Amino acid sequence: MAIAAGDEGRYKRRVLDLQKRVAAIHRDFRLYRGTSSHLFPYETRYRNRSPRISMAEFNHILAIDESQNTVEVEGGATYGNIARATLRHDLLPTITPELKDITAGGAIVGIGIESSCFRYGFVHDGLHEADVLLADGDVITCTSTNEFKDLFKGLPNSYGTLGYVLRAKLQLVTARPYVRVTVRRFTNLHSYIDALRYDTEDPSNDFVEGLVYDTDELYAIRGHFEDAVHPVGNIHGLTPYYKQLRDIGEIGLRTEDYVFRYDPDWFWNVPTGGMYTVFRLLAPRSVRHSSFYKRYSRWKAGLIRARNFLWQSEPSVYEPLIQDWQVPWDRALEFVEFALNKIDLRGKPWACVPIRPRQSPTLYPVAAGSLYFNLGCYCWMRSQAGTERFDATRLLDNKCFGLGGLKMLYSSTFIDECEFQKRFNGDLYRALKQKYDPNGRLPTVYQKVMAGE
């Protein structure tokens, strides 16, 4: 169905109100969505002190068109709410990121992935059109074919530096009430990489991903939509989802629980045992989600800084390693071997996602139609004595780039600006910036992701 007249009118009024607030500032500004950010800079030299304008009211699901399998949402609508609304119609976005509080706008201008990426590419590959608020307050609608197609192609990996997504029309696919997850363990890395590739070529698979603990403990995970499963598993219990996979060959989940299976523990960042067992037992589900992890991680970082100060410890005893890298599939074996040889995650897994992009965005120049291997790490690690700060990130960044890969920019990067522009089409970015933000009211991508000591 089209957007109801009342909903469309309210959306337009929200747009006009936002434009008035932007026009009243007459200087640089930044927008605040009202949800927990899923950017994870380690440290940054750039501090954006521009006035902040709230767009928290842009959080609505505007329309679901079952005849076209599309959904129209505002940029601040979270995937938790989008999935809940579309699943009532047995539909899901082509890519539904695993964390409930990720917003549609954030996933479009960032790079959103999930275990269905081998079929549908990235989040932005399912985008039909977007209303974008530009730095001067104008709002334009961009598609892949209209006069603003350069902006449409430039939105992915722009991180809100070309404009803010106010409304998006996204592709949906047919879903079922449950997902049956099957797990196979491998003890040989070469066989494991081959098995994952084979799984991406099997049309019966709806989801494909993997977990890697070591060269002899590797899990290939497939998901299939089902009308019913028995028994139905629990992602909110005492045992985190990722740990359940090591002990069983199969688990059935409600589809909503499957797509957000890593949300209650932000993958594997909430510890197990001790007080955390009590937390899992007693905490209401309203706090068992990824936004809680943001608060927890800030507390943990503050605790580490306090300990280092009180006991005069080295400031780099612990460091975050929260990153995603993508390399061409034929370089996956070398990249994973390198990561396992150089980095000790102390029992935490690496996440693996096969991705076949449908297009090559201007600012994220992957090869459309080619298969990529995504290696993700989402934890804190003990740094090695005698190494420079964030050495693990530097090592893996350099290896990834050396293998012809790219990294997602929601977290920190340590390459210099010249190398950054080379990797992410800096000349084309500058042309887009000049066209859509000629006065530089919004920061650059490099300013938002640069890291410094």
440 found inside a domain? no
The confidence score (pLDDT) of residue 453 equals 34
One domain, residues 201 and 142? no
Q: Which domain holds residue 390?
A: 300-434
Single-letter amino acid, residue 178? Y
The confidence score (pLDDT) of residue 297 equals 66
445 found inside a domain? no
The confidence score (pLDDT) of residue 281 equals 82
The confidence score (pLDDT) of residue 286 equals 76
One domain, residues 163 and 31? yes
Q: What is the pLDDT of residues 197-242, one digit of tens each?
A: 999 999 999 999 999 999 999 999 999 999 999 999 999 999 999 9
The confidence score (pLDDT) of residue 287 equals 75
One domain, residues 286 and 329? no
The confidence score (pLDDT) of residue 452 equals 40
446 found inside a domain? no
One domain, residues 401 and 313? yes
One domain, residues 195 and 253? yes
Parts of the chain with a pLDDT under 70: 1-6, 34-49, 293-317, 451-453
218 found inside a domain? yes
450 found inside a domain? no
Sign of CA dihedral 293, 116, 224, 243: negative
* Tally of domains in the chain: 3
**End-of-domain residue from the set 229, 261, 291:** 291
**End-of-domain residue from the set 265, 291, 317:** 291
One domain, residues 231 and 341? no
The confidence score (pLDDT) of residue 90 equals 98
